[in-house]
Structure 1
Amino acid sequence: MSSKHDIPDGLNEEYYQISQSILGSFNKYRPPLNIFSFKEDVARVMPYYKVGGRLTNEQIEQLAELTDQGLIFVSRADHPVYVKHISYQLDLVLVDKNLKEKEIADIFAQALTRRLAEFFDQPVPAVFDKLWVDLMVLTEYLYQDIRRSRALVRRLHTEHSLENHSLNCGFLGIGLWSKIKDKGFSEGVKRKTFDRVVAGLFLHDMGMAKVPAFIRDKTKPLTGDERTKVNTHTKTGFEMLNKLNLRYPEVEQCVTEHHERINGTGYPMKSVKQEFAGRLCGIADSFCAMITKRPYAEAKTMMQAAQELAGDARYDREMTKALQSFLVMDMKMKP
């Protein structure tokens, strides 16, 4: 906020102060939400532009000048519109210093759910590239302070769909990882490793995009042939990684090992050797399946699901205990 102007400290509780980067992302003549300016002579925020109108060239020039001076705002009452707008240009969360952590979490949830749905509908390189760009914005944001992942975990979807489940696993997996590492996350985890594990968490079920929707959404027990189709999604996902040129070990582990179990009872290999990313993703995958309502099962509470996993010898005990601790300690904080 500019030091040239005496703007009340509490103003940002009701308004977002916008920068030139944000202003430049709006439609030039018809911004998607109401705009306000701070009038110094009366020390009040006053309407500048109303949705449905059209800015003149003179107003556009004046608006740019006022924005440089830190005098242009949009209302937090328009938060849903603002979230939707920035979700289409996700890198703006890195430059808008007036967004609150919970507001940024809303934006990431909306943007990434939409990107994942687009990718699962068309799992081709051109669509994947857009998803990858947004995932890297997320990792840039979180690598600066991994504690920001707490707000993301509070925004898990409660209804099941492939994209909702994938987003939930990404958010939950990151939060669990932050608890496992506890202190010194950025010192102990290399950035490229972070990028790749995060990508794997979101993409672990990509092979399910090739399973017919009527099987994925079936309310009755699967037939033997249908179960076989579902169980091959890890192999299908691995094959898709080749086509996307995404052959990073951490991503491969999430895709191929999230149904393996440490006692050798999982699939497809029934191997007791699960790498870190595979174990982390396996717990996130099971937990997120348990807390959403599915056609064949009611949702459990987060604590019920975490307790059930902690008592299951098929999962990494250190990780399941960390999950319980994360939920008990961190999730008590305000959203």
Structure 2
Amino acid sequence: MSKKLDTNSLNEEFYQISPKILESFSKFRIPLDLYLFKEKIASLEPFYKRDSRLQEEQRKDILERASQGLLFVSRNDHSIYTKHISKQLDLILIDKHLTPLEIVSILKMAIPEKIAEFYEQPVKPVWEELQESVIVLLKYLQEDPHRIKGLIKNLFKQNNDLIKTTYNAGILGLAITLESKQDIKEKDLKHIALGLFTYDLGLYRIPKFIREKTANLTPEEQQKIINHPISGAKLMRKLDIREETLLNCHLEHHECFDGSGYPRKLKGQDISLSGKICSLAHFAAELITKNLTPHELLATLSKKSQKFAPKFYNTLLNIITNIWLK
């Protein structure tokens, strides 16, 4: 067994690859160049050329060397590596050599992709894949709640896209939820997270030409827009999803604390806890996709403060101030 390797000097250009990551690739072809650390000369040398056919013995040798911490991949292959991990997201919990920014880019690729697949095809197998990805994200944040800062700093901007707005709202809503954890039961955390990353299903299912109209909607089209929270909840129930905490994100993401929202014009404490979080996260996410500066974002939020539950509203202001203005 090789002695433990100090990789600090290599981290800028290369990072170690673990056996579990290697095992997740195709069995006899790896789409990355691999480099072997030679201890005597303390440097890396090419060891495996990407997509070369492996024999069983070669594969075993590669896995053994990886278990000794001697195999590296180039950060130039980051896009290939991250795309692979985004398809098996639980690998971010295994690979300790990924930088925080690399993990953010993987999550920013993987979660919207799963949201888009589910919005396009809201069926059980696709739902289960999205659910698995959101649970991985939750585990990643529960290991270190401060990791949410990196995700918030890298939200989507300048993009009026429903999928990306949902992702932004999911991250902001999770930040509010984790910051307010003393008010939230542990068993509800997963369902709030799943609601936050699926809440606009009903709107997505409305034809795009209606969604993108800014005026002259017919009465029928207007009714579809107003009722989309209820339509989304119905679609979720068809998947046998009954958790109210999750469904309320769908039903109440347009309800307002002052009673001015829709579709049911709920007010104050009639709005559920998850509905309060989701309506605020959704509103802030839409502002962020308009590429407002942090100061403009805070100013716009302050003008609408009466529409949101004061406690969560103040929590979001603190999050924005601490992450973007300090």
Aligned counterparts of 1:80 and 1:168: Cα–Cα separation in 2: 22
Percentage identity across paired residues of the two chains: 37
Aligned counterparts of 2:51 and 2:198: Cα–Cα separation in 1: 40
- RMSD after superposition: 2.1
Match of 1:83 in 2: 82
Matches within 5 A, 1:64-79: 64-79=63-78
Please tell me the residue identity of whatever aligns with 1:199: L
Partner of residue 307 from structure 1, selected from 299, 305, 311: 299
What is the TM-score normalised by the length of structure 1? 0.89
Q: CA 1:279/1:6 → structure 2, altered by over 3 Å: closer, same or farther? A: closer
Partner of residue 240 from structure 2, selected from 233, 238, 245: 245
Deviation at 1:8, TM superposition (A): 4.0
Aligned counterparts of 1:45 and 1:103: Cα–Cα separation in 2: 22
Structure 2 unaligned residues grouped into runs of 5+: none
Please tell me the residue identity of whatever aligns with 2:160: H
Match of 1:17 in 2: 16
Aligned counterparts of 2:296 and 2:209: Cα–Cα separation in 1: 29
The superposition leaves residues 50-75 of structure 1 with CA deviations (integer Å, 9 ceiling, x where unpaired) of 22433344432221111111101111
Matches within 5 A, 1:117-196: 117-158=116-157, 159-179=159-179, 181=180, 185=181, 189-196=184-191
Aligned counterparts of 1:8 and 1:314: Cα–Cα separation in 2: 51
Match of 1:296 in 2: none
Aligned counterparts of 1:204 and 1:9: Cα–Cα separation in 2: 43
Q: CA 1:304/1:177 → structure 2, altered by over 3 Å: closer, same or farther? A: farther
Q: CA 1:330/1:228 → structure 2, altered by over 3 Å: closer, same or farther? A: same
Aligned residues: 322
Question: SS at the partner of 2:217?
Answer: coil
Deviation at 1:35, TM superposition (A): 1.2
Question: SS at the partner of 1:268?
Answer: coil
Q: CA 1:291/1:11 → structure 2, altered by over 3 Å: closer, same or farther? A: same
Aligned counterparts of 2:220 and 2:173: Cα–Cα separation in 1: 31
Deviation at 1:222, TM superposition (A): 3.5
What is the TM-score normalised by the length of structure 2? 0.91
Matches within 5 A, 1:216-255: 216-218=211-213, 222-255=217-250
Aligned counterparts of 1:127 and 1:254: Cα–Cα separation in 2: 19
Match of 1:50 in 2: 49
Q: Which has the larger displacement, 324-333 or 87-96?
A: 324-333
Aligned counterparts of 1:35 and 1:167: Cα–Cα separation in 2: 34
Do the aligned partners of 1:7 and 1:43 also contact (CA within 8 Å) in 2? no
Do the aligned partners of 1:17 and 1:70 also contact (CA within 8 Å) in 2? yes
Structure 1 unaligned residues grouped into runs of 5+: 294-298
Match of 1:327 in 2: 320
Q: CA 1:210/1:24 → structure 2, altered by over 3 Å: closer, same or farther? A: same
Deviation at 1:221, TM superposition (A): 5.2
Is 1:277 paired with 2:270? no
